Amino acid sequence: MAQQRIAVEIDHSRLVAVTALERGARGEVDLTTIASNQRRAIIRLFRVAEGTPQLLASFEIDNLNRFNRARPSIQLHTLISRSGRLAVRLEVERQTVVKRTIDVSQYLPPRPFPWAATAAAALLLVVAGLGVALLLRGREAPTAQTVPALSEAETPDPAAQEPAPPPAPASPPPRTPEPAEQRDPPQPAVAAAQVSEQQWTIYFRPDRAELTTAAQDELQRIAETIASYEPGQIRLVIAGHCAPVGPERGRVVLSRQRAQAVADFLQAAGAPQPDEVTGYSSDRPVTFETERLHLNRRVEIEIAPAT
């Protein structure tokens, strides 16, 4: 079976692969307009496998002349989350103009459950423990002992026994009180989860804005925590940072790309749209020590109660 891919249409005639259609896949493609001074562009994404390509989504960008370029550059960014949601972001001259999330989980194999093997092993241990307990119980069960009957010499003389007292008169049966009327206890009100300030840090490789596998796993857990709050209950801020090396302009762009990559993944995983996504270049370093510069290549995610 041919590998599934996400592709973008070029020149209304051919398809160019963007990324593999699989969980955690990420892709980027640089595009431009077909003609100079074009005012509108249509970007179409397809699922390519065996047979005819399948249209997934179509995006329209208007007023391209506002960028003051005869043929402005267009960047297409895609990211498929672990839950099977395709996050699409379109930039024109480094400005985000389209953000969309598409459910592609129906084209992906079921997610493996990491706890299934653990649960099965635990179940086997429980069954084995019950079997051992039953075996030990069967071995330790005492044999029944019979009490020997009294011999005739040990049988007491009926004449020596005191006469039994006459039976007491039977008392009337007690009156059963009528049950009191029972009412269902009031149900407690369901309170919304309390919001406390929390912060997480995601680290990146040098000069890269792509999420590592470890970062994606961590972001999946963070997204589940953020999504547990009610809409409008929290303020979500995402800030990108760089190490203090290289040209300043490059650090500014890279820190913003890192923050946007985290924001896109969280939204694709079910978290709400962030209230703020920004890049601080290397203005807020953790350390200046050469052997610890990797701690500066990071994105910080913060949630706080909405005001």
Give the Cβ contact number of residue 239 at 10 Å.
21
Which of 48, 81, 107 finishes a domain? 107
Query: Residue 272 carries which DSSP code?
Result: P
CATH code assigned at 94: 2.60.34.10
Which of 107, 134, 158 finishes a domain? 107
Query: How far is 12 from 233, CA to CA, in rounded Å?
Result: 45
Domain contains 173? no
> What is the count of structural domains for the chain?
2
Domain contains 174? no
pLDDT level of residue 195 (50, 70, 90 thresholds)? confident
Domain contains 119? no
Domain contains 217? yes
Which of 107, 142, 169 finishes a domain? 107
Q: What is the pTM of this model?
A: 0.49
Range of the domain at 224: 198-305
pLDDT level of residue 2 (50, 70, 90 thresholds)? low
Percent of the chain with pLDDT over 70: 73
Domain contains 61? yes
Pick the closest to residue 255 from 293, 234, 282, 275 (CA basis).
Answer: 282
Domain contains 271? yes
- Of 110-114, 149-153, 256-260, the one with minimum mean pLDDT is 149-153
CATH code assigned at 280: 3.30.1330.60
Query: How far is 214 from 168, CA to CA, in rounded Å?
Result: 84
Domain contains 78? yes
| Integer Rg of the chain from CA | 36
Query: How far is 93 from 105, CA to CA, in rounded Å?
Result: 31
**C-beta separation of 71 from 38 below 8 A:** yes
- Average pLDDT, integer, range 42-51: 88
Residue 150: its pLDDT value, please?
A: 37
Residue 175: its pLDDT value, please?
A: 60
Q: Residue 296 pLDDT more than 60?
A: yes
pLDDT level of residue 51 (50, 70, 90 thresholds)? confident
**C-beta separation of 221 from 214 below 8 A:** no
Query: H or E element: which one contains 23?
Result: none
Domain contains 254? yes
Cα 98 to the chain's mean position, in Å? 24
Give the Cβ contact number of residue 27 at 10 Å.
17
